[in-house]
Structure 1
């Protein structure tokens, strides 16, 4: 019997690793519509564009609103209120890259909600804002 399992193992591991890495890369890719679906499902209700617009423009008791940096409406370049850094348009119809990377969506929601609210946004708040942004044409 000429069975050599160890010679097969590296090739099998390499194949498995390639599949896992490809799956990870694909999992990060998303769309603004998929993000809206995700957060609506997390909230247990569809996002509400009217609530999202009100949320986006409100200061929530703090110094900044979402609109402070992203503009109103967020269809053109914005500018960070503190640093002056240019920010690409937030509305997906005006920025093809908006909300296309799940990790970045999570990172920026966490950071920006903390800046505006001094806490993380709820799933319903994220769904509402996404409903508003996805509706801008």
Structure 2
């Protein structure tokens, strides 16, 4: 008996499409983002604990400084830096890099959404 594959294909398309939704489409919690922003994450290599504040500061309207390279990081707050959070590919790239470096793993979609919601309030 030949099986009709259309329902299975439709489900796969829906599921794969849902995984590709932009982070901005998730409803983030700015309070959770603020908590995660200042939380210190222990490092497995024995180096000091890190947080987002390590490089970006508590005040996102001010420039930050990379903890290793000492390179200046432009303010993250869209209120003073309107370019922030406007390029989805850049947001994804930097969240991937920074979550791995700070948390020691990739952030969950919820964590990303919470961080973005927090940054948007600044």
Settle same-fold status: TM greater than 0.5: yes
Q: What's the CA shift for 1:118?
A: 1.0
Distance of 2:68 and 2:24 partners within structure 1: 32
Structure 2: gaps of 5 or more residues: 1-21, 44-48
Taking the TM superposition and a 5 Å limit, the aligned residue runs for 1:23-102 are 37-38=24-25, 40=26, 46-62=27-43, 63-102=49-88
- Ranges of 4+ aligned residues in structure 1 off by more than 6 Å: none
Question: Number of aligned pairs?
Answer: 96
Q: Secondary structure at the match of 1:61?
A: coil
CA distance in 2, matches of 1:93, 1:116: 25
- Unpaired runs of at least 5, structure 1: 1-34, 41-45
Equivalent residues of 2:38, 2:51 under 8 A apart: yes
CA RMSD of aligned residues (A): 1.4
TM superposition score normalised by structure 2: 0.73
Return the index of the structure with the highest Cα Rg.
1
- How far does the alpha carbon of each residue in 1:50-104 deviate from its partner, in whole angstroms, 9 at most, with x for none? 1100100111223211111011121110000111000000111121111111211
Query: Quick check: which one's helix share is greater?
Result: 1
